[in-house]
Structure 1
Amino acid sequence: MEIEHTKSASGGKFFSNDNGEEIAEMTYKNRDEIVMVIDHTFVNEKHRKEGLGGKLVKEAVDYARENNKKIIPQCPFAREVFKENSSYSDVLK
């Protein structure tokens, strides 16, 4: 499934839709121009075990790398994904 990204001055979200229904989202706030704080991740119960949460975090990591940003994974799910993926350490704040 495709991951989309919307952003504003204060933060943004990565999300996935299925037939017009949002089935997964991960939100973040911008602490400043460099630091993103992932504060929430949710995957619809029907779509859990499909790896969508991890894909959302990966999209945030890719975005951070492309834009020279750092991430603070405040939400428990994102924090766990960062612990399990040492390759994400370059964007970890």
Structure 2
Amino acid sequence: MEPIKHEEGIFYMEKDGQRVAEITYAPAGDGKINANHTYVANELRGGGIAGQLLDALADYAREENLKILPTCSYVVAEFSRGGKYDDVNALAK
């Protein structure tokens, strides 16, 4: 597996030149980004890849002083647990 790559709007991983996992985001105004989609190929599910991608997105948000608006079901679920993403969760109280 190759390391996580970042382009505007997406963090992703490739294997043998094929994209096998991704988390996408879009500007949401007021210093926010909308985490709107997460995908991990079937053969890689359960291996923590989605969490690694979310960690990369959260680190990016911290570096850029942004908050993440969770609309992707995976991100919503992870944010609902509280804890390590509270500082970047746009919906946290």
With structure 1 as the length reference, what TM-score do the two structures score?
0.89
Residue 32 in structure 1 maps to residue 29 in structure 2: yes
d(CA) in 1 for partners of 2:11 and 2:64? Answer: 15
d(CA) in 1 for partners of 2:82 and 2:34? Answer: 18
Matched letter for residue 26 of structure 2: K
3-state SS in 2 of match to 1:25: strand
CA-atom RMSD, angstroms? 1.2
d(CA) in 1 for partners of 2:54 and 2:82? Answer: 11
With structure 2 as the length reference, what TM-score do the two structures score?
0.89
d(CA) in 1 for partners of 2:59 and 2:30? Answer: 16
Q: How many residues align?
A: 89
> Is the helix fraction higher in 1 or 2?
1
Unaligned stretches of 5+ in structure 1?
Answer: none
Q: Which runs of 4 or more aligned residues in structure 1 lie more than 3 Å from their structure 2 counterparts after TM superposition?
A: none
Q: Which residue of 2 aligns with 1:44?
A: 41
Unaligned stretches of 5+ in structure 2?
Answer: none
> Percentage identity across aligned positions?
35
